Structures are given as C-alpha cells and as structure tokens.
C-alpha cells in the first residue's frame, strides 16, 4: 500500500527534474513558477538543456533530488536572480512580483 502512494510522487519528482531527459520531458512541456513573495522564478522544462549550472551554482535553492526542486527560501532574492541569469538556455527566468500586475 505504501508503494502505491509513493510512486506517483516519485514519478513527479523525476519527471519535473531538470536532469530528466529532455526528449521525454518535451512530451509534456512543464512551466512552473516558484516565489518567495518578492521574486518569482519561472522554469520552462522544454528549454532546459540540463547543464546543471543552477544546481552547481546555488544548491541551497536548486536541487533536482527534492520536490519541489526549487526552494525559494534557500537564498535571498539577489542571489536567486543572479543564479537564474546564469541559466544558459533560458529555461529559468524571473520577474519581481512588484513589477508584475498579475502577481499583485
Ligand atoms: S541552469 Fe538552466 S538549463 Fe541548466 S539545468 Fe538549470 S534550468 Fe536547466
């Protein structure tokens, strides 16, 4: 019984990880948003090229072994934005909540 309840959660973690093969993920392009109330990070799975820059650069926030894989309380807004800007594919982007009318 325990196995049946854990399998869907494990599949979600694996499927939404930036290290999951892109050709499989593109079957279902996932766009997810994560916020700390000040900044919102947007991850577009279809653009991710699995460079692991995010994980290597700021593992306190970006950890594909966890769910959710982006933990917004792992660093301050400035550090998160700086790391997001290093994403080579554009899979990661961010906007400041104060500048986006939809987030108000
Ligand atoms: S840095 Fe960007 S392209 Fe590289 S794994 Fe992270 S999200 Fe994907």
Residues 46-96 pLDDT 10s: 999 999 999 999 999 999 999 999 999 999 999 999 999 999 999 999 999
Q: How confident is the model at residue 1 (pLDDT cuts 50, 70, 90)?
A: very low
CA distance 74 to 80: 9
Distance 4 CA to ligand 1 centre (A): 31
Residues 14-57 pLDDT 10s: 556 666 655 555 557 899 999 999 999 999 999 999 999 999 99
pTM: 0.76
The answer to whether 70 and 34 have CB atoms below 8 angstroms apart is: yes
CA distance 78 to 14: 28
Q: Which of the two residues, 28 and 6, has the higher pLDDT score?
A: 28
Number of domains in the chain: 1
Segments forming the whole domain that contains residue 6: 2-103
Distance 5 CA to ligand 1 centre (A): 29
């Amino acid at each position: 019984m325990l196995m049946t309840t854990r399998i869907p959660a494990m599949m979600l973690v694996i499927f939404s990880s930036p290290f999951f093969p892109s050709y499989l993920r593109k079957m279902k392009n996932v766009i997810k948003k994560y916020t700390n109330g000040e900044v919102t990070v947007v991850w577009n799975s279809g653009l991710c090229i699995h460079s692991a820059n995010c994980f290597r650069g700021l593992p306190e926030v970006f950890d594909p072994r966890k769910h959710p894989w982006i933990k917004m309380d792992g660093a301050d807004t400035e550090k998160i934005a700086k790391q997001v800007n290093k994403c080579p594919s554009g899979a990661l982007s961010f906007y400041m909540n104060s500048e986006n009318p939809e987030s108000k």
